[in-house]
Structure formats: structure tokens, C-alpha cells
Amino acid sequence: MLKNIINTLKMIGAMLHFQKKLMPAELMQLYSGSEQGSAYVAAPLLRRNSWIDSFYARLTDIRILFSNLFQILHNIGQLRIYTKGRLIDTRDIQDKISQQMQTTMRKFAEENRTLEKDNTFLKNVIQQERNYAQMLIRLNNATQNLFTITDRKVLLRTVTTSLCEDLNFTSAVLWVYDKSEQRLIPISWANVSHEMLQRLSISLDKRPYSDLITHRKSYFLVDDTEIPDQTDNSALQHIHELSRVLESPVIFLIPIVSLHNPKNMVENFNGEVETSAILMVGKQETTRLMESKEILQRYAYSAGLTLGNVDIYNYLHENYRSLKQQAITDGLTGLYNRRFFNEELEREMQRSYRHFLRMSLILLDVDHFKKYNDSNGHQAGDEVLKKVAAILREQTRVCDLECRYGGEEFALILPETNKEQALVIAEKLRHTVETTYFEHQEKQPLGNLTVSMGVATFPDDSIQIKELIEKADKGLYKAKELGRNVVVAAE
């Protein structure tokens, strides 16, 4: 069958020689190619003579015939092409094409592996950058939380716990530098054994601690001598001990300075600022250490800034409380002064008026105090006033207000107290003073030191502040007229 097909091809080729104007070499050019498994024959390359136009349709049919024949032969598996007087087996062509395809596929595979490596590297870089961005977000949240704290103890505790809980470090210790004793004191820690921490030996006259204290230089130490980026070789003898205490192969040492607190910023002879605290942080991973160090330095800066703000806040708050206390307190007796008495009396009368309550006022005067003061000296007189003030504090209720009204006079505001109750309280005070021993009391006209008191009640005696005080004062003077050492109610 194959032989018959080949002969048919030769007959078809002979049909093309009927025109004498055609040159044999230009009769036909056949070439083979594959497109989706099919074989085809190229259109004849003929000279543009007049006869070619008339036979163009026939030649097209011949080309289609050739294509179909080659398809049949290809399916049979033994396609032979007659070209330039010799037969070519298509299997040789297929072998060459197969070899070229295999070479091309190997190149593609190699390039694909290279692209996969590059792609994996880029994915790792992107993931690392995402992790770093997330770390910066957590850092911002942690520092914002620090800025809201106003209590120093809470702040120091939060500095270490936040490093482990919010920033995912393994452990942390905050050391405070005691300049007077030249040592570091652990004041706050997280995920660290306090017992092991107490056994940790730190020498401030050696690096890295000398640089931390004096120059505020940050360090990271790695418990692996094979790592080429080892920061400080002089610290290797100490790093293993730190690693065991913090249970981490990487140790960061970050200085903290309270920027706004002059008490924690000490200038040495070089004019450099010393550290007030050291942050010691442990980390398990030994990668991206410089980024971790940068994160910790930013965190330490925020912690130092917040610590300074808290110190200033507490300092000003304490001064404000002290000044406020001084402004409303008598310096000698410790009782409230007359200005505060006037403010509280008005406030208490308004409260009693709103709630339909009674309140009482007691004015008290030390009998023959001028004689005692002149006979025994002002220091002895001051001691008497202090002792009387102590009796008033001890014998009254928590809600009562004791004041030094002026000189040897005292005043008591008794909320929610009627006149009968006030007289009982006054009599109790008078008796306590009379039975208390005072130095040099035997020189007094009555043989001991006594007090006289006047009592007035709101609203029974008056609803006006000034008038209520006058009523109590009149009772006091009447007590003196009655021979002193008595209690008299306002009329």
C-alpha cells in the first residue's frame, strides 16, 4: 500500500511538468511541518506566467490532496517525503524535534527553579516586613499604654510585663541604678526567677555595664561564639550567666534615662548624662537582632519619657497637696486654721439647710493662758496648745472638724448634732482637759489647766454664719464670767 501511495505522489508531481516554460528546479518546493499533529505541503512556488492564473484552483486542490495524504501517512507512522531526489524519514525529524524540546524543557525547568527561589525569597522578605510592621503597631500600642500611667510603681511593673505580653519577648528585667551604692537593683521583672536574679553578679566597672551607665550605649549579647556579629567579646564571660537567668540565647541591654527628671539625670565630669535604669531583655530567636534592638531602644525612650513625666507629676502633686495642707492647717497644732474653718462652716450649714439637719458649733478657750504663757515661757505655752489639740482630735468623731480659731481659742464643727448632744461632747472635752496633767499647771489660779466653752446650734440659735459664731462666742464669755472651766449654751 505504501508503495502505491508513493507512486501516486510521483504521478501527481509529473503532472506539473506539462508546461515547458517551467524550470525543473522551480517545479515545486516541498517542505514538511507539524501543526497539531498534521502534515502539510507548501504551495508551489511558480513563476507568474499567464497559465498559472487558470490553473490556480487546480493547484490549490493538489495542495489539499498533498496535505491529506501526508496526514494519512503520518497516522500510518512511516511518512516519507521526496525532495531533491531523496527520501527523508519523518522519524528522524521527530527525534530532532524531541531533542530540541527536551533541551528547551530543561532550560524552562531550570529557569522555573530559579524563579521559585526568587519568589520564595521575596515572600520571606515581605513576610518579615509585615512582621516588623505589626511589631511597630504593637510598640505604638504599648507606648501609648505607658503614657496613660501616673503611678510610678504601676509604671515600673508595666514596663517589663508589656515587653513579654505585647512585644513577644521572652523575659525582661528592669534595673535601677543606685549611684550612692554604685550598684544595680532589680525593681521589676517578668518571666524571670527572683531567686536566680538575686544571685546574678554584675560589675559596674566593666563593660558593657560601664558603657551603659556612663555613655548610654545599647548592647545585644548572643550566647553563641560562632555567630560572626557578636557585639562585644569582653562580655562573653558574663553572657552565659545572663542567658541562664533570662532563659534566652539573646540578651539585650538597653539604658533608660528619665529625660524630664533632673533627680535621675546626673552629669559626670565629662558633662555626659548617666543612666537611671537598665532594661535587660531576653529573646529566643537569633535573627533580625538589629531590628529588635531598634524596637527596644524606642520602647526604652518612651519608658524613660513616661517615667520622667510620672516623677514630675508626682512631685508637683505632692507639692500641691503639701502647699494646700499648709494653706488650711495651723503649723503649731496641726489642726485646720481659721480660713478653712470659715469655708467648712458655710458648707456644712448649707448642707444642713438642704437636708433639714441640725449642726452645732463649739468655741473653746484655754483658761488663764496668758498668765501660763508669761510665767512659763512661750515654748511651754506652745506645748499646752499642742496637747489640747491632741485631746480634741482624740475625743471627737471622724466627721467632726477641729480648728484653731486663733491664739488659745479652738472651734469644733459638729455635723448632724443637736444642742443636747453638743453639750455632752463639750462636757466630755472639758473634763478630759481638766484631768490631764500639764507641766507647771499647779501655778494656775485654779490649781490646774482648764478650758471654757460656748455652744450654739443651727438653726435653733441662728441660720446666719456670723450670728451663729457670735452666739457661741457669747456663751464662751459667759462661761468665763461664771468662773471658767464650764460649758455654756447660747440663749
Give the Cα separation of 448 and 384 in Å (integer).
12
- The dihedral region occupied by 216, where left means phi > 0, alpha psi between -120 and 50, and beta the remainder, is left
The answer to whether residues 232 and 219 touch, using CB atoms and an 8 Å cutoff, is: yes
What is the full DSSP assignment across 424-472?
Answer: HHHHHHHHHHHHS--TTGGGSTTSS--EEEEEEEETTT-SSHHHHHHHH
Of 36, 331, 26, 299, which Cα lies nearest the Cα of 146?
299
Sign of CA dihedral 220, 226, 227, 232: positive
Phi/psi at 140 (nearest 5 deg)? -60, -45
Give the Cα separation of 86 and 328 in Å (integer).
127
Amino acid (1-letter code) at residue 173: V
Question: How many Cα atoms occupy the beta-carbon half-sphere of 2 within 13 Å?
Answer: 9
Residues facing 171 on adjacent strands: 282
Q: Which entry of 408, 420, 427, 470 is annotated as an active-site residue?
A: 408
Only one residue has cell 462652716, namely: 345
Contacts of 379 (CB under 8 A, 6+ apart): none
Q: What angle do CA 384, 390, 396 make, to 5 degrees?
A: 135
The verdict on whether 408 is a catalytic residue reads yes
DSSP label at residue 182 = T
Distances (CA, A) of 156 to 30, 153, 303, 356: 92, 5, 9, 50
Give the Cα separation of 165 and 153 in Å (integer).
18
Q: At what angle do helices 419-435 and 378-395 cross, to 10 degrees?
A: 140
Residue positions annotated with a catalytic role: 408
